[in-house]
Structure 1
Amino acid sequence: MSHFEAFALALIQGLTEFLPISSSAHLILPSQIFGWADQGLAFDVAVHLGTLAAVVLYFRKEVTTLLGAWLGSIFNGRRCGEAKLAWMIVLATIPACVFGFFMKDIIELYLRSAWVIAATTIIFGLLLWWVDRRATQQDDEYQANWKSSLFIGLAQAAAMIPGTSRSGATMTAALHLGFTREAAARFSFLMSIPVIVLAGSYLGMKLVTSGAPIEFGGLGIGLAVSFVSAYACIHVFLKLVTRLGMLPFVIYRLLLGVGLITFLLSQ
């Protein structure tokens, strides 16, 4: 993998990880369209670390508060809104872990194709548009209960299908439940932290046991670019989502899906 490819893929990862447009779809597409070689496990670990560092740094105050409240609820029995939210994030993470454990191989074998990406990009884009238009937008993330958290967690699990978008699916589910756009985005971003930690740890263990060669120049580019682009993306998205809504991302998804179908039919 050249340094240009490393830069481009890390930029794609950083910009799409937290937008409702599917990072997995965009990372698969270069190999499908341009014939780029697979980026490898080491690079996957690097960009996961970059996006994880970005979301943790951006929400450092919330993460510190939620983690302290969560630990306090375990060891001191302390109950508060922050502890409840932390437990809801933990609950919302469980479906993705279960689904990933049982379905990962099936997804890798049968669903990582450009046709699947085109279909899910369009279908879930239309679903996001429909839900966003009808959303009541009354609640913040602290109103989440076990039923709503589990529902959003199931949406996150379904987003393992390439092209669905983890952030898109979770924001769609949260909007459907009455969250404001900003609250849906914040809950989605906070939910991403344990998922990225688990995914990065899994990939890291695979890397260690595989003995695959590591090219540190590409890894450094991947880590730095994914961090900077993800941090900027989170900041801009939270500033604009309440004003712009989800329509720009829906339009992008539809254009991407139709463009991909046109490309595939021309082959």
Structure 2
Amino acid sequence: MEWLQIVVLAAVQGLTEFLPVSSSAHLILVPVLTTWEDQGLAFDVALHVGSLTAVMIYFRKEIKQIVSGSLGVLSGGEMNRDARLGLWITVATLPVCVIGFLLQDIISTYMRSTLIIGISLIGFGLLLGYADYFKRGTQTEYQIGWKEVLIIGFSQALALIPGTSRSGISMTAALMVGMSREAAARFSFLLSIPVIILAGGLEAMKLLRQPQAIDWLSLLAGTLLSGVIAYLCIHYFLVVIKKMGMQPFVIYRVLFGAWLIWFFHF
């Protein structure tokens, strides 16, 4: 692979995995605007590993507390706030897993058009703006209950529609049920861990069934770059939303969605 291709793909993965702007909307442009060949499953897995590593390092303290609290409950201890957060993450992940498994063929066959992506970017972008401006509250990820968790969990299933953005729709739902901006973002990032593990695992299984020569240097470079960019993305996103909220991303989504529709359909 060319080094420029490695850098571009790693940057797209590292940024769009966590920003509420949709990875599918951006990845569709890479083959359109370049002459690069498909990067292959091995490189896709490497990029997922980089993103996963970044979010786990950034939230290492929270993950340690969640694991410790969950193990304590399994050993007969009381349900503390960390164990409850671990339970909420598990529950909120189930809908996207079940619905994704049932509808994956329909989605991959009929919902990959640039028109759907453009409309999703605009529609769900405006919904994010509405939730951020009118509905956000002060609850943290430790204060929500079953109802809020199920709403956020089922909202993640909407991210199966290309252009929606998993992080974007989960943050939107979190804001709608009264969470603060920072808490909504943190919870969305924690929810990304099992989702990335599952997505990367599926790609790895496909890779095992399609043995091919592996460019280990490209994989290592892609993993490192994706990880570094994703880590910085998480950090600075949390800084930006404290000062400016979600509106800059709403504006970007609307403009990008409108451009996609115009570029591919007019």
TM-score range, shorter chain: over 0.9
Partner of 1:42 in structure 2? 42
CA distance in 1, matches of 2:161, 2:34: 22
Match for 2:219: what amino acid? L
- TM-superposed CA distance for 1:35, in Å, is 5.1
CA distance in 2, matches of 1:58, 1:248: 24
TM-score (norm 1): 0.95
- TM-superposed CA distance for 1:133, in Å, is 1.0
Q: Percent identity?
A: 52
In the alignment, does 2:227 pair up with 1:231?
no
In angstroms, what is the RMSD of aligned CA positions?
Answer: 1.3
Match for 1:47: what amino acid? L
Partner of 1:56 in structure 2? 56
TM-score (norm 2): 0.96
Give CA deviations for 1:93-139 in whole Å, capped at 9, x if unaligned.
Answer: 00011011111121111112222211111111011111111124220
| Structure 1 stretch displaced more, 35-44 or 55-64 | 35-44
Q: How many residues of Structure 1 are paired with residues of Structure 2 in the alignment?
A: 266
CA distance in 1, matches of 2:160, 2:150: 16
Partner of 1:124 in structure 2? 124
Match for 2:13: what amino acid? Q
Contact 2:115–2:265 (8 Å) recurs in 1 = no
Unaligned runs of 5+ in 1: none
State the 4+ residue runs in structure 1 displaced beyond 4 angstroms.
Answer: none
Unaligned runs of 5+ in 2: none
Match for 1:197: what amino acid? I
Contact 1:93–1:153 (8 Å) recurs in 2 = yes
In the alignment, does 2:72 pair up with 1:72?
yes
Contact 2:139–2:180 (8 Å) recurs in 1 = yes
In the alignment, does 2:206 pair up with 1:206?
yes
Alignment of 1:166-177 (within 5 A): 166-177=166-177
Match for 1:111: what amino acid? M
Contact 1:32–1:114 (8 Å) recurs in 2 = no
SS of 1:57's equivalent in the other structure is helix
In the alignment, does 2:102 pair up with 1:88?
no
CA distance in 2, matches of 1:38, 1:173: 34
Partner of 2:8 in structure 1? 8
Partner of 1:29 in structure 2? 29
Partner of 2:191 in structure 1? 191
- TM-superposed CA distance for 1:38, in Å, is 2.7
Match for 1:182: what amino acid? E
Partner of 1:108 in structure 2? 108
Match for 2:147: what amino acid? K
CA distance in 2, matches of 1:220, 1:88: 33
Contact 1:3–1:217 (8 Å) recurs in 2 = no
